[in-house]
Structure formats: structure tokens, C-alpha cells
Amino acid sequence: MRRTTKAGVAVLAGAMLVLAGCSDDGGGSGGSNGGGEGGSTDLVLAGWSLSTTPEFQVLVDGFTEQNPEVSISVLEYDAANYDTQLTADLAAGSAPDLYPLKTVTTLPTYQEGGQLVDVSDVASELSGDILGVDAYAVDGATYAIPYRQDAWFLYYNVDLFEQAGVEIPDGTWTWDDYVAASMALQEGLAGTEAKATYQHGWTSLVTGFANAQAGSDEEFLAADWEYMVPFYERAMELQEAGAQESYGTVTTNSLTYQGQFGTQKVAMMPMGSWYVATLLAQQESGDADTFGWSFAPMPQLDDSTLDAPITQGNPTAIGINAAIDEDKLDAAKEFLAYIGSEEAASELAAIGIMPAYTTEAVAEVMFGLEGVPTDDVARTAFSSQQPVPEAPVNSGTPPLQTILDDAHSEIMTGNISPAEGIAAAIARAQDEVLG
Amino acid sequence: MSATTIERPRAPGRRLRRRRALVGWTFILPNFLGFATFTLVPVLILMYLGFTSWNAFGAAEFTGLENYQRLLADSTFHTALLNTLYYAVFHIPLTLGAALGLAVLLNQKLRGVAFFRTVAFFPYITSIVAIAVVWNMLFSPEAGPVNQFLEAIGIANPPGWTTSTDWAMPAIILVSIWRDMGYYMLLFLAGLQAIPSELYEAARIDGANAWQRFRNVTMPGLRPTTFFVTVMLTIGSFKVFDLILVMTNGGPGTATLVLSQYIYDTGFVERDFGYASTVAIVLFLICIGVTVLQFLVNKRRDR
Amino acid sequence: MATLTLDPPSTDTGSPVNRGRAGRRSGLHMVGRVLLYAVMLVAAAAILVPFVWMVTSSLKNNTQVFTVPIQWLPDPVVWQNYLDIWTKANMTTWLRNTLLLSVVITFLQVLTGSFAAYGFSKIRFPGRDVLFLAYVGTIAVPWQAYMIPQFILMSRFELSNTLWAMIALQAFGAFGVFLMKQYYESIPEELSEAARIDGLSEYGIWRRVVLPLSGPAVASLSLLTFVNVWNDYLGPLIYLRSPEIWTIQIGLKSLVSQYNAEYALIMTGSVLSVLPIAIIFMLGQRYFVQGIATTGVKG
């Protein structure tokens, strides 16, 4: 018995040494494609859903064309479990040299964990037209370079608006106008299968807009969330009036937003800019109907922000693994400089992705794509909207988000009123996170 | 247990004992080597991590009992613990009963028994995504067949099932029994084969009816299996994760948040692997406590 | 349920006593049987509903899979998915990897598990019960809690991102040891004692006496291990990165991309992945027949 205990302790001690080892040696980053020899460098970049997410290969191809001495292979991760897989790889020291931060709010995790190289020198060389770089700065140092910047639009189905006899969005809507239009649409579409608008199940569909338009980082992090209440009240009003599918139906029937808007079940839908490319592809493949559609800026709190409408939208950036081999670092930084260039932006726009680098030229590429709506309101939405991340980029954010997710499902299913639900969430945040 | 182990009348000599231990270990070793390296060691590391603050990168920082103190005041942990107990208290006996009933029923000489056994096992092999999707649709509060049926038989205000904080857990429990009963049925079926048919014969000659035969022959004969199933079912219930994740994701609110999901969220979302380990240790201790209790009860019954 | 006869199948027809009684009750028996079948068929249909939905969804267009209200029948019927799964998706590779893993892991788990179980149940030595408790104890620790330490260890052994990782992970599970141990304990000790007197070593007893009597336990352990490996998602997700070593479950999950998901194709793959298990189960369940253990006692 005593001997077994001793053996156990020995085994455990050995294991701890093995574990500790990984924080010491630091090296041995993924792919183990030896670099530097003969002037050529091999890098590995993490990506996800490669067959349907061409952006990584587009960036790699564009870069290696200019830098033939560098080769970059893309390693596929699971789209939904990217951070779980990446965490495991980083912890084991086997992660790729370059990895995207799929969600901007995960930056503190990797940065505070010492897993990102300081790339301030790359950032300082970038043109001023890049959106979202600030989000990746911690204490004055930049840790990743954004290549895309999504923004949320209000998509609408021109045919259904016509059928209902309602004016299409003109780019000057406030949330009150949005609610009024929804009610009018619901009346006009009575007797058909279509509903006025669609709100997908994600928490950010309410809290993201509330944070961007009515809140501030300070309020969010202090859990002063009363500003979210009117946003929830509006959502509930639409839901109770039947102008949008109830949250319960959306979740219990696993509704997809692509199916709802793409097969003309709804006249309007707030959704991210990525949906433009998806919708075009689905209309091409027959997964979506063919109908007239466009997008407008998101409704605003009041008239004051109509010139530069505020919306939510996360940047996506790529950072360098802190465990990268010394001799590969320069090549990796060059790649980051490339993804922040106007050239890369045009390549991305050509596949329907909103790049972080925004100029008139880039916008022209985007609107030159076949099928992309080219009306003035859509151009305004693309060019003048100010996207704000759905939540502050701060290490305090994740636990608060968890609490808001819980509150979201409880409020939207009607188990608790918006005011009480937010009050309960605030109390919980004070008690468990901030207290 | 004493009947089945090597029990010689006199205490064996030292050499014999050592020899026996050696033989015992040679049996266990092939499995133990793999088990110790790939499971036991990580688990022991986890036990240590429960006393640290660790974000998965670099070295863990020893913080003593801090995590345990935090547990005491953590109301979400308490919610998750209570929800887990709620689930376990209903899931364990109901699944046990359903599985045993199915096994006894499908142990008979019936035409097509292979088909029915396979059907009973089907929920366990059906993709969990399909299970979640279909049951959620069936339970859908507005257009779902379950509530349409309830309304048809005159229930005016049918529950909101997975969208209601009160009814989400009962809905989960129902689906989990449906899913697991075939799995445990299989274990009972195997156990039933070990009961000598002479015992049934003898009981019948003694005039025992079906229920008496079940009580006095089937149940005692199944005891090792029942013990195994109860332990596995207990552990499985306390660890329940995937079904809830895909069906309600812990909601609405925290109505179906269970310990396993809390551990996952704390670790992979909030990056607090030290605290996640502490919660895992508590879950482990509860399971071990219940298991040891079952061990003792089982041992006493054996005597 | 109490009205059902609890007789094991092999004794149902044997004795004259039985036959006489069966004759007297046959009328009632017939009605009971018919009712029983009716109930069982209805129950079977109800149990299969999600599977039926899987099948009909696999015959739909992608956008028809999730609708309000539920659309049970595909219209039009889309057979294309059953072709696409082999061409658009890499089902052949996934199937091969999954089959390989399931067979190897099941074999190792049954072999090492039943071997170790003999040590735990038939030989008494110091520290045995504590060791066994450690085995059972690890089952009680949620995997997602020690996933990262385990992954780091596995990477140190250079096993991650290989199929070996999955084998190392699942072939030596405590579950098999526990299951086999419990079954061995229901095998009468007189048998091994007799063999011991005949001069058989412990290994010989395991090989010639105990193992041949464990048919139902080996069958259920094999089935359950096979199914668990076949359907495992989280393990392959963490350990298998390269597409050429993906299993069915993560392969199907890869059809869910960030902005869209091929639900109809996923359901097609799910249907195809269930069928081999159903067939194996159909074949394997015939080992659950009374008498294997008892013939041993008699002989």
C-alpha cells in the first residue's frame, strides 16, 4: 500500500516535470517544417473550414506570389471549436506559427497568456485606413493585425416590401422606425407565410447593438447594463406582436438565418456583412431563392448618428505565435504587413469579404461583384457605418458575456421581463465577477 | 465477493502471497500501463491543478485553498450543483427501471426479438444532433406535436418545455431516459444470461409465480450487473454534458446548467482552468462518495 | 410488466409441466401476445422518430431541413445527397479511419480489459481494492477537465495528430475492466477451483474456463466500445487535425462552416454512419442467449 503511494507520487512528479517542460523550451512550433535553409522559409497558418472559407488561401497566395522564398501552408481547424483546439495546441507547444484571432474578444486570453508576439513595428508601418487595429493594442503594444472588418447591415427583401406596400429602408431609420415598419409589414404580409423581420438566437443581436449604440466599455465592464433594457423591450414587442419568429421557435426548431432570409420567409433581417457572399453563393447554387434584395445601415438610437451610423462588427486579425522560431519571425511579420495592405484588401473584397483596409478603390472592387446591390443606401452602409466590437476587448469580458448569455435566453423565452432579467444579471455579475 | 475470490482455509505463506500478488499484477499490467500513462496521470495532475490558478499556458500558480473558498460563495456553482442533483435523482432510478424492464421483456423468446433489441438501442447510436433537433421540435411550445396533442386532450396551458425555466429539466430528463435505456438494457441483457436456468426451474417447481421468480431469482442473480449499472449510471448522470449542451445549452437562463458544462465554460470560455479543475474535483468526490456507498451496500448484501 | 412471463427462452418449451400449462392458457396467451406485439410495435415506431427524421432530412434540399412547422416528408426527394457525400465530402476516408480505430480499440479494450478484470476479481492481493477504486474513480472525472494536461502529455509522446492518440486514449479505459470484473464475479468459483486442482495455471483458467463463459459480457463490451469509438466526437476533435485522419463524426462536423452548414449532407452522413452499427448490433445481439454460462456448470 505504502509502496503504491510512493510509486504514485513518483509518477505524478515525473508528469509535472513533463508538463513544466513545455513552458521552458518554448520552441518547436507547429508543422516542424524546418526553416531558413537555402533562403526559403516555411510557415504554418491556422484557418478553419477551408473548403468554404477561401480567405486564408487568398491571403497566402497573394503573399507568396510577391515573396516566392516563403511558403505558407494552412492548417485546418474546426470553425465552431477553433479556440478549444488552438488552446490545446498552444498549451502543448504545437500550434502554427501564425494564427487568426477568430473572435476579437479572445485577444486578452492569448496576449495575457504570453502566446502572441508584439507586432507594433508592423502596425506602425500600416496605412491609417485600417479599421480595428486599436482593438488589438494592449498598453500601447499591438499584438495582431486585422485583415477583415465585418459590420452589421439591415438586409431586406425588396419583393416582400413591395408586396406589403411598405417603403424600403432609406438609411435614416431609428429603432422606432424599424419597429413601425415591422408592424406595417406584418399587416401587409398577413395571409402569407412571410414574417416582417427575423432576429437570430445570438445574444449579440440584442446586446451587441446596445453596447455599440447606447453603452460604453466602462459601463459594460462595470455591469451597468440598464441601457440594454429598451433593446430587449423592443425585441419582445416585435416577438409578441408576431412580427418576428419567437426566440423559442428559433431555437427549438434550429432555424437558420440563411434559410429564413434566403427562402423569403422574412422581409428584413439584421445580419453581418459576411452574409452578402453567402447569399450570393446560395442563390447561385439554388439553396436560396432568386429575389430582389439589398441592405441598409442598421437602425440608430436617434437622428444624431445618421451621417456615420453606428453598428456592431468585429475585426478579425492574425497574430504570431510567441513560440515561433527566431529565423521565421521576419517572414511572419512580412506576411502580417501584407494582410494589412491595400492589395490584400482588394483580393479579399474580390471574394466578397469586407476588408479592414477601406478605401474607395476597395469599395469599388466589392460593388463590382456580380449580384452585390449597388444602390446608394447599400453604399452608405458599406462605407460610412462605424463598426464597434460586440463587447469590449478586455479580459473581464468573457465571464460577463456568460452571464448575459444566460439572461438573454431567459428574457427572450419570456420567463422573466427585460427589466427584471437585466437587474438579475447585474446582481449576478456584481456577486460573482466584480464583487 | 468472498465466494468468488481465492480463499484458502489457512492463511497462505508469505512466498505464496507474494507469488499471488505477482500473478495478479501480470493480469492487470497490460491494461494498467496504458491506463496509468494516459488517464491516471492526467487525472492526478488535475487534482493538483485544483489548487492553482492556470490559464493553460505556461506554469500553474499555486494558490492553496483559494479556489475552494471561491466555490463556497459561487452561486452559479450552487445552481449547477442543484441542477445536477435534480437531474441525477430522476434520471438514475427511472433509467434503471426502464432498462431493466426492457431487458427482461426482450430476454424472452419472441419472434423478432433481434429487431426490437436493435430498435431499443437505436436512440443511443442516433446522432446526438438529430436527437436534439427532433426532440426540440417535438417539444416546441407553439407548433410542436407534443403540445398539440396535450391541447387536443383538453390541457389548456401546456408547458413550454425546453423554453421554460420550470419545464426544461423535466424535458431533458425524459429525452435522456429515452436515449440511455437501450444502452443499459444491453448490460442487463448480458447479466441475465449468467443466471442458471435451473434456478428458474426450481422456483417454478416450488410454485413461485412470475413476480416471485423475478424477486427471488432474477434480482439476486443480476446483483453484480445491477451494481455495475447503478455505478455507471450514477457517474454518467453526474457527468451529463453533451445532451444538455445540444438541447438547451444550459438555458433558459441557468435552468439546465449542470456541473460538466460549468466546468467546460469556466475552463475554455473564461480561461480559468484552475478553478475548472476544482469544480471537477468536487464532481469527482461526489461520484466517488456515492460509488463507495454503493460498494458498501453491495458488499453487505453479498454476505 | 409483471404479467409477462419471465421465463428465459431455453426453458420455455423444455419440460412437460410447461407444455401442459401453456396449453391451458393458450387462448389468453394468444391475446396477450398480440397485444404485446401491438404495444411493442408502437413503442418501436415512437423510438425511431428521430432516426426517421434523419432519413427524411437526408433526402431534402439543404434549406428544407429546418422549417416551421416541421416538414416530415421531403418534397422533392433529393437523392443527390447520397452521391455528394462520397464526392463533395470525403466519406471514404472518414469511414476507413473510423472503422480502423473502432476495430483496433475494441480489440485492445476487450483483450486488456478482460485480462485485467481477472486479476481484479479472481486473485486477491494487497492494494487491489484501492487500485480498483482508482480505476472507477477516473471514470468519475469529466474528461473536459483534464483534456489539456492529457493533450500536453500526448504531445510530449509525439502522439497527437495521429491515430495512435485515439488508440492510446481509448483502448485502456476503466469501463471495460469494470464491466468484465462484474461479470466474472457472477461465474461460480467452483469452476476455476476445479481447474486449479486439475493443474491449470491462472492464465490457463482465464483462457480456458473464464473467457469462454463470458460470451455475453464480451459481446456487450465489444458492442459498446465499438459504438463509443464510432460516435466519439470530442476526442477526435482535440487530437486529430489533419483531414486525412479525420473520423466520420468530425468529418461531418466539418460540413458546418462558419457561415453555413450542409445540414442535409450531414444527415446523409449520419444515416450512413448508423447503418454499420445497426448491422453489427443485429448480428452481435444473438450472443445474448441464455445458457452459455450454465452449460459450463453442467459440463
**Is A91 touching B (CB cutoff 8 A)?**
yes
Q: What is the mean predicted confidence (pLDDT) over C91-119?
A: 94
Q: What is the mean pLDDT of residues B265-278?
A: 91
- Domain A152-311+392-434 CATH assignment equals 3.40.190.10: yes
Beta bridge partners of B159: none
Q: Which among C156, C161, C258 is the nearest to A48, CB-wise?
A: C258
Q: Taking residues A9-35, report their average pLDDT.
A: 45
Residue B11: its pLDDT value, please? Answer: 57
- The residues of C whose Cβ lies within 8 A of any Cβ of A are 61-63, 65-68, 70, 126-127, 130-131, 147-149, 151-156, 160-161, 237-238, 241, 243, 250, 253-254, 256-261, 263
Beta pairing partners, A310: A386
- pLDDT on residue C216: 86
The candidate with the shortest Cα–Cα distance to C186, out of C121, C253, C251, C96, is: C121
CA of A73 vs chain B CAs: smallest distance (Å): 25
Q: Is the pLDDT of residue B91 over 90?
A: yes
Euclidean distance between CA atoms A209 and A388, whole angstroms: 9
Say whether B160 and A413 touch across the interface (CB within 8 A). yes
| Helical axes C174-184 vs B168-192, angle rounded to 10° | 50
Contacts of A402 in chain B (CB under 8 A): 265, 269-270
Q: Is A320 exposed, middle or buried (0-12, 13-18, 19+ CB in 10 A)?
A: buried
Whether cis (ω within 30° of 0) applies to the bond prior to B30 is no
Q: How far apart are CA B28 and CA B23, in angstroms?
A: 9
On whether both C150 and C197 belong to a single domain, the answer is: yes
Average of pLDDT values for A127-153? 89
Which triple of cell numbers denotes residue B269? 470560455
Predicted pLDDT at B36: 92
User: Does residue C52 lie in a domain region?
Assistant: no
Around Cβ A381, how many Cβ atoms within 10 Å? 26
C56 interface with B at CB cutoff 8 Å = no
| Alpha helices by DSSP H, C140-262 | 143-156, 163-170, 174-184, 189-197, 202-205, 215-231, 234-239, 248-253
Domain count, chain C: 2
Domains A28-150+313-358 and A152-311+392-434 share a fold: yes
Q: Among A15-24, A239-248, B54-63, B286-295, where is mean pLDDT lowest?
A: A15-24
Interface confidence (ipTM) of the complex: 0.85
Q: pLDDT above 70 covers what percent of chain A?
A: 91
Map grid coordinates 486473485 to a residue: C123
Cα separation values, A20 from B63, C154, C169, C222, Å: 17, 14, 22, 38
Closest Cα of chain A to B210: distance in Å? 44
| pLDDT over threshold 70, residue A36 | no
Residue C195 lies in a domain: yes
| Structural domain that includes position C13 | 1-47
Task: Please indicate if any CB of chain B lies within 8 Å of the CB of C236.
Answer: no
Based on the fold, state whether residues C1 and C117 are members of the same structural domain: no
Distance between B248 CA and the closest CA of chain C, angstroms: 17
Question: What pLDDT, on the 0 to 100 scale, is given for residue A38?
Answer: 53
- Looking from the CA of A370 toward its CB, the CA atoms found within 13 Å total 3
d(CA B96, CA B176): 12
Q: Residue C289 — pLDDT band, cuts 50, 70, 90? A: low
Instruction: Give the whole-angstrom CA distance, residue A273 versus residue A383.
Output: 12
C-alpha cell at A113: 497568456
Q: Is A137 on the interface with B (CB under 8 A)?
A: no
Best residue in B28, B49, B57, B133 for a mutation probing chain A (most A CBs within 10 Å): B57
Shared-domain flag, residues C115 and C249: yes
Question: What CATH number was assigned to the domain covering residues B72-302?
Answer: 1.10.3720.10
Based on the domain organization, do C38 and C161 belong to the same domain? no
User: Which range is least confidently modeled, A94-108, A230-244, A269-283, C55-69?
Assistant: C55-69
Q: Where are the beta strands (DSSP E) in A49-151?
A: 70-77, 98-101, 137-138, 141-142, 145-149
**Residue pair C85/C272 in contact by the 8 Å Cβ criterion:** yes
Distance, CA of B163 to CA of B136 (rounded, Å): 9
CATH 3.40.190.10 fits A28-150+313-358, yes or no: yes
With contact defined as beta carbons under 8 Å apart, do C151 and A92 qualify? yes
Q: Which of A148-157, A278-287, B103-112 has the highest mean pLDDT?
A: A148-157
CA dist., res. B164 & res. B143, Å (int) = 15
What number of C-beta contacts closer than 8 Å exist between B and C? 322
Average pLDDT in chain A: 89
Q: Which of A190, A207, A266, A224 is nearest to A411 (CA)?
A: A207
Cβ(C133)–Cβ(C174) below 8 Å = no
* E-only strand ranges, A178-314: 195-197, 266-272, 293-296, 310-312
Point out the least confidently predicted range of A77-81, A263-267, C70-74, C205-209.
C70-74
The Cβ-side half-sphere exposure at B234, using a 13 Å CA radius, reads 22
**Spatial separation of the C-alpha atoms in residues C174 and B34, rounded to whole Å:** 10
At C118, the pLDDT band (50, 70, 90 cuts) reads: very high
First to last CA, chain C: 34
For chain A, give every domain's residue range: 28-150+313-358, 152-311+392-434
- What value does the mean pLDDT take over residues C134-143? 89
E-assigned strands of chain C?
none
pLDDT digits (tens, 9 = 90+) for A218-239: 999 999 999 999 999 999 999 9
Q: Which of C284, C217, C18 is nearest to B193 (CA)?
A: C217
How far apart are alpha carbons A355 and A346 in whole angstroms? 8
Residue C183 lies in a domain: yes
pLDDT band at C2 (very low <50, low <70, confident <90, very high): very low
Residue C58 within a domain? no
Site of grid cell 437562463: B253
